[in-house]
Structure 1
């Protein structure tokens, strides 16, 4: 099974089941985690807090939130500079 969402995509994180402090809200996919069996997992970072969380794909839904144009350009620049510096 492949990942439905991509790195950098904004999604809505559903509220956690009881006995958890995970807040619902907009988050960004930081990494798609490898898996052989079991649920598809992602590392996400909430827009409203600094810590990252590992969540199942079923806990995520597409978001209507969009990154600002400035953020998108900055992310593209940083990706290019990383690629260039690794080639050297």
Structure 2
């Protein structure tokens, strides 16, 4: 239980009882992977209709309905992952 099974950008489905009963409201996106808490993997997740993040553990995720480990290309495109510092754009004056 020590290693995360999901990456930032993965869409997951939470188990029943943690949110409202509508299926669309149980789907959320992983916003961050948190440090382990006594061997339990924790994630920050955000629902599309909310402007804040929640903390969940891996036990709260419905593994049968959630896809694990999205391809790196998908995560990069979804997050707009582009380096904030582009070495080719730096100009040095002499």
Identify the TM-score tier after normalising by the shorter chain: 0.5 to 0.7
Query: Counterpart of 1:13?
Result: 14
Unaligned runs of 5+ in 2: 68-75
- Please list, as runs of the form range in 1=range in 2, the aligned pairs for 1:68-87 lying within 5 A after superposition: 73=77, 75=79, 78-82=80-84, 85=85
Q: TM-score, normalised by structure 1?
A: 0.64
Q: Deviations along 1:3-29, whole A, 9 cap, x unmatched? A: 011110000122446xxxx44511000
Other structure's SS at 1:55 match: strand
Shift of 1:36: 5.5
Structure 1 stretches of 5 or more lacking a match?
A: 64-71
How many residues of Structure 1 are paired with residues of Structure 2 in the alignment?
A: 72
Higher relative contact order (CA 8 A, sep 6+): 2
Cα 1:41/1:74, change in 2 over 3 Å: closer
CA displacement at 1:58 relative to structure 2: 1.0
Higher helix share: 1
For the structure 1 residues 74 and 57, does the alpha-carbon distance in structure 2 shift closer, same or farther, using more than 3 Å as the test?
closer
User: How far is the alpha carbon of 1:86 from its aligned partner?
Assistant: 7.2
Equivalences for residues 24-43 of structure 1 within 5 A: 25-35=26-36, 37-43=38-44
Structure number with bigger Rg: 2
CA distance in 1, matches of 2:29, 2:46: 5
